[in-house]
Amino acid sequence: MPTTCILNHYLIQYSFYQPKWRWTKKGGKEELWIERLAHYIVDDFGENAIMVLCVLKGGYKFCADLVDFIKVFGRNSSKYLETRVEFIRLKSYLNDQSTEDLHIIGSRDLSFLHGKSVLIVEAIVDTGKTMKALLKHVETFEPKMVKVAGLLVKRVPNMAESLTDYVGFEIPNHFVVGYALDYNEYFRDLNHICVISKTGKMKYKV
Ligand SMILES: O=P(O)(O)OC[C@H]1O[C@H](OP(=O)(O)OP(=O)(O)O)[C@H](O)[C@@H]1O
Ligand code: HPA
């Protein structure tokens, strides 16, 4: 890795992730990384309908892509993979810092999760505070099972690896933007994920 980020090069240092990235399986066959995650998820959920809980705003692109691939597996196998997608909006970051204040924006009522096999889809697990709080909240609605798919897990001291069942990429401890991840609402629209530079942080600081 990393390849130079072309867009906004004066703000962003590197790009970590491209949606079309492939990895090579044993035996030489290439697979998209997201296809691999979808594969594991489909295997684990088996016959259970998947109740996807997408964590907004950061998780919307990853969730859309992941669900597409889960559906592809359904189409390519004889079984019908039932998926339903619901959303929860959480907010705790200001600039590049987690605040102690985690807000659930909108309804806290997730009773539709009761008895369901839930897949939480999150863009990034950084300090892990958001995911810990969300898991605690979700458990109160007594789902049948809960798994977490995280596109990125950050390598931070006391990193929260065990919170995430399906990990796209483990990344170094830098603040990243793009592919729906933001810095004060900027850069969500980038197609790839980059590290924001000091200059970028200063320019868009609130
Ligand atoms: O592991 P943590 O340190 O708790 O950080 C992870 C959370 O932070 C971001 O959300 P944010 O609060 O920025 O809201 P957003 O998704 O609307 O940007 C991200 O999308 C995760 O939900
Ligand atoms: O690195 C990050 N980028 C964007 N949002 C985030 N929320 C936690 N960590 C990050």
DSSP structural state of residue 163: G
Q: Locate 19 and state its tokens.
A: 């949606």
How far apart are the C-alpha atoms of 90 and 126, rounded to whole Å?
14
Specify if 14 maps to a domain: no
Specify if 4 maps to a domain: no
Q: What is the CATH number of the domain that holds 183?
A: 3.40.50.2020
What is the best residue among 92, 96, 137 to mutate for testing ligand 1's pocket, by most ligand atoms within 8 Å of CB?
Answer: 92
Mean pLDDT of all residues belonging to the chain: 86
User: What is the count of structural domains for the chain?
Assistant: 1
Specify if 87 maps to a domain: yes
Specify if 5 maps to a domain: no
Specify if 74 maps to a domain: yes
> Residue 48: its pLDDT value, please?
93
Specify if 202 maps to a domain: no
Is residue 186 over pLDDT 80?
A: yes
Structural domain range at position 68: 22-187
Specify if 15 maps to a domain: no
Angle (CA) 85-91-92 rounded to 5° is: 145
Give per-residue pLDDT as tens, 140-182: 999 999 999 999 999 887 765 589 999 998 888 999 999 999 9
Q: Interface pTM (ipTM) of the complex?
A: 0.98
DSSP structural state of residue 161: G
Specify if 27 maps to a domain: yes
What is the best residue among 154, 181, 186, 193 to mutate for testing ligand 2's pocket, by most ligand atoms within 8 Å of CB?
Answer: 181
Q: Locate 106 and state its tokens.
A: 């909108």
Would you say the CB of residue 187 lies under 6 angstroms from ligand 2?
no
